Amino acid sequence: MSYQVLARKWRPRTFHELAGQEHVVRALTNALDQQRLHHAFLFTGTRGVGKTTIARIFAKSLNCEVGVSSHPCGECAACREIDAGRFMDLIEVDAASRTKVEDTRELLENVQYAPSRGRFKVYLIDEVHMLSTHSFNALLKTLEEPPPHVKFLLATTDPQKLPVTILSRCLQFSLKRLPAALIARYLNQVLEAEGVPREEEAVRLIARAGDGSMRDALSLLDQAIAFGSGRVEAAAVSAMLGSIDRRRVVGLLEALAADDAAAVLRQVAELDELSPDYAAVLAELLSLLQRVALVQVVPEAIPDDDPSDPGDARRLAGMLAPEDVQLFHQIALLGRRDLPLMPEPRGGFEMVLLRMLCFRPAALEAATPASSGTVTAPPPAMVSATPVSRPPVVLTAARVPAQPVSEWGVLVEQLGLMGMAKQVALHCALTARDGDFFRLALEPGHAQMLTRTVEDRIKTALEQHLGRPINLKFQIGDVTATTPADQQKQRQAERQQTAANHVVQDPHVRAMQEMFDARIAAIHPLDDTDQ
pLDDT in tens, the chain (531 residues): 578 899 899 999 999 999 889 999 999 999 999 999 999 999 999 999 999 999 999 999 999 999 999 999 989 999 999 998 899 999 998 887 776 777 778 778 888 888 888 899 999 999 999 888 888 888 888 888 888 999 999 999 999 999 999 999 999 999 999 998 899 999 999 999 999 999 998 998 899 888 899 999 999 999 999 998 889 998 888 888 877 777 889 999 999 988 889 999 999 998 888 888 898 899 989 989 998 998 888 877 776 555 556 578 888 888 888 889 999 999 999 999 989 888 899 999 999 999 998 887 755 555 544 433 444 433 333 333 333 344 444 444 444 347 445 778 888 888 888 888 888 898 888 888 888 889 899 888 788 788 888 898 899 888 888 888 899 999 888 777 888 888 888 888 888 888 888 777 777 777 777 777 777 777 766 654 444
Q: What is the 3-state secondary structure (H, E, C) of 250-277?
A: HHHHHHHHCCCHHHHHHHHHHHHCCCCC
User: 334: Cβ–Cβ under 8 A, 6 or more apart, which residues?
Assistant: none
CATH classification code of 246-363: 1.20.272.10
Instruction: Please report the pLDDT score of residue 390 as a whole number.
Output: 41
pLDDT computed for residue 307 by the predictor: 52
Rounded Cα distance between 121 and 88, Å, is 9
- Beta bridge partners, 20, equal none
Whether this prediction's pTM lies above 0.75 is answered by no
pLDDT for position 386: 34
Q: How far apart are CA 228 and CA 236, in angstroms?
A: 6
Backbone angles phi, psi at 523, to 5 degrees: -125, 125
pLDDT at 397: 42
Among 396, 366, 394, smallest CA distance to 261 is for 366
pLDDT, tens digit (0-9, with 9 covering 90-100), for 430-469: 888 888 889 899 888 788 788 888 898 899 888 888 888 8
User: 432: burial class by Cβ within 10 Å (0-12, 13-18, 19+)?
Assistant: exposed
Question: In CATH terms, is domain 180-241 a member of 3.40.228.10?
Answer: no
CATH architecture, range 407-481: 2-Layer Sandwich (3.30)
What are the residue boundaries of the structural domains of the chain, listed by start? 6-174, 180-241, 246-363, 375-402+487-527, 407-481
Cα dihedral 477, 481, 485, 489, rounded to 10, equals 130
**Alpha helices, DSSP H only, in 153-230?**
164-167, 180-194, 200-209, 214-227
**What pLDDT, on the 0 to 100 scale, is given for residue 156?**
93
Give the pLDDT of residue 400.
Answer: 39
DSSP 476-518: ES---SPPHHHHHHHHHHHHHHHHHHHHHH-HHHHHHHHHHT-
Q: Answer yes or no: are the C-beta atoms of 63 and 122 closer than 8 Å.
A: yes
Print burial letters for 210-219: b (CB count within 10 Å at least 16), e (below 16).
bbbbbbbbbb
**Domains 180-241 and 407-481 belong to one CATH topology:** no
CA dist 217 to 12, 81, 204, 220, 392, Å? 15, 27, 10, 5, 58
Q: Which CATH entry fits the domain spanning 6-174: 1.25.40.10, 3.40.50.300, 3.30.70.870, 1.10.3720.10? A: 3.40.50.300
